[in-house]
Structure 1
């Protein structure tokens, strides 16, 4: 069954600095949890936990 609405088959082209078969080059991360100390990781986990509990407690109000 044919349909009556027109199609626009325009393709968007983006310029890349690498070839289509190669992955994107790595970018330097401003921070990484893998480079944090154990104490830093624990502090970050505690901060995330406190924030999530705050959301839960506010939602239960």
Structure 2
């Protein structure tokens, strides 16, 4: 009997980038709503870190309305 957990692929957390890369006066991208620092960190953080960044994006989206 094989262990299916050893064959499981890690979940991929997709970038929110939409190809509109311009930071506003608050250092937040007008396309994806990540801060400049979050954009820089994206390639280095693990999936949990990426989810934390996405929570910040969701919060900014809620506050922008």
TM-score (norm: length of structure 2): 0.30
Between 1 and 2, higher relative CO (CA 8 Å, sep ≥ 6) is seen in 2
Name which one, 1 or 2, has greater alpha-carbon Rg: 1
